[in-house]
């Protein structure tokens, strides 16, 4: 895919794009600690009638590094994406999100419900299902919350800034684990994530995704009566140590209509199984389109 910079009132964002320039737009939002590069493999297998638009979120990839932590509240990141798609003159679109990008996608679907034709989420909690969210957290903490160590590390003032800078390769490679070591996740992708994390101030801006979590959780606790009205697909890498199965209990309560698909993968399902993810999306978009 190619890249371009899009400048809107909220800032400057790097956008990766590909597919059919005249096709129906699919907005694809990455998570942490990745960039829009994570959609390269998926885009290669998507149907040719789709137009892929994949922005880098604020503070990651090649988008601007804002040091105001409040800008990383997930509803604010969704407002960033709304301005980007408006600048690209996109009306209705398919919406895809993984990890924090899946949270931002949910917030964007709440902001623009009439414009999101279909919603795809991958390996992330639902923000409008507080009971299931609490159930998953209870299990995680019952196990000592060891898998969440990196979240609490980054929430400590100044610690990420002091310890990650100069150690970006070690930091990034850790999270891709066996898939990064054995080549399941392409080395080019990991190298790209390392490059982006080496951009000045990224340890701080990356950490801001977790430093705003308390504010986010207070907001999500108010959303339990809301259902996503558009057809939805949830793709789940079933070896994820963080988004555990308990987070998926009763998730159908958060949607008017949802289809759930499991793949034999860990958290970074779109990096590990790009073809399989793309084929699930193709079937879903064609079925509902």
pLDDT digit string, tens, across residues 83-125: 999 999 999 999 999 999 999 999 999 999 999 999 999 999 9
In contact, 190 and 181? CB cutoff 8 Å = no
Q: Phi first, then psi: what are they for 77, rounded to 5°?
A: -65, -35
In contact, 269 and 244? CB cutoff 8 Å = no
In the structure encoding, which two tokens stand for residue 230, read together? 């558009």
DSSP assignment of 202-271, as one string? HHHHHHHHHHTHHHHHHHHTT-TT--B-S-EEEEEETT-SSS-GGGGTTGGGGBSSEEEEEES--S-HHH
In contact, 2 and 16? CB cutoff 8 Å = yes
What's residue 162's pLDDT? 97
Q: How far apart are CA 260 and CA 49, in angstroms?
A: 24
Average pLDDT over all residues of the chain: 96
What CA dihedral angle connects 215, 217, 219 and 224, to 10 degrees?
A: 180
Within 8 A by CB and 6+ apart from 57, the residues are 29, 30, 63, 77, 80, 100, 101, 104
Q: How far apart are CA 119 and CA 77, in angstroms?
A: 17
Over residues 244-249, mean pLDDT: 93
pLDDT digit string, tens, across residues 194-238: 999 999 999 999 999 999 999 999 999 999 999 999 999 999 999
pTM score, whole prediction: 0.97
What's residue 288's pLDDT? 59
Question: Which residue ranges form the domains of the chain, and what is each CATH number?
Answer: 2-288 (3.40.50.1820)
Residue 178 has pLDDT above 70, yes or no: yes
pLDDT category of residue 287 using cuts at 50, 70 and 90: confident
The C-alpha angle with vertex 188 and arms to 186 and 191, in degrees rounded to 5, equals: 115
Residue 185 has pLDDT above 60, yes or no: yes
How many Cβ atoms are within 10 Å of 162's Cβ, its own excluded? 9
In the structure encoding, which two tokens stand for residue 24, read together? 């129906």
Which residues partner with 15 through β-bridges? Answer: 4, 55
């Amino acid at each position: 895919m190619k890249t371009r910079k899009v400048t809107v009132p909220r800032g400057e964002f790097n956008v990766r794009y590909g597919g059919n320039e005249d096709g129906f737009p699919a907005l694809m939002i990455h998570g942490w600690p990745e960039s829009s590069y994570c959609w390269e493999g998926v885009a290669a297998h998507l149907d040719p009638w789709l137009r892929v638009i994949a922005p880098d979120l604020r503070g990651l990839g090649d988008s601007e590094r804002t040091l105001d932590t409040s800008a990383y509240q997930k509803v604010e990141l969704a407002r960033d994406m709304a301005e980007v798609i408006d600048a690209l003159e996109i009306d209705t679109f398919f919406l895809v999100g993984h990890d924090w990008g899946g949270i931002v996608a949910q917030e964007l679907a709440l902001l623009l419900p009439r414009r999101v034709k279909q919603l795809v989420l991958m390996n992330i909690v639902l923000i409008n299902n507080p009971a299931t969210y609490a159930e998953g957290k209870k299990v995680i903490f019952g196990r000592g919350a060891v898998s969440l160590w990196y979240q609490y590390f980054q929430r400590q003032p100044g610690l990420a800034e002091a310890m990650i800078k100069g150690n970006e390769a070690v930091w990034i490679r850790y999270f891709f684990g066996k898939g990064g070591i054995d080549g399941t996740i392409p080395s080019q992708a990991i190298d790209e994530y390392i490059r982006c994390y080496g951009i000045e101030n990224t340890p701080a801006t990356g950490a801001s995704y977790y430093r705003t979590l308390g504010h986010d959780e207070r907001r999500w606790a108010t959303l339990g009566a809301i259902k996503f009205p558009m057809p939805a697909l949830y793709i789940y890498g079933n070896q994820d140590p963080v988004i555990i199965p308990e987070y998926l209990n009763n998730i159908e309560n958060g949607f008017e209509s949802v289809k759930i698909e499991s793949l034999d993968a860990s958290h970074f399902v779109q990096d590990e199984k790009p073809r399989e993810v793309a084929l699930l999306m193709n079937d879903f978009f064609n079925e509902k389109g």
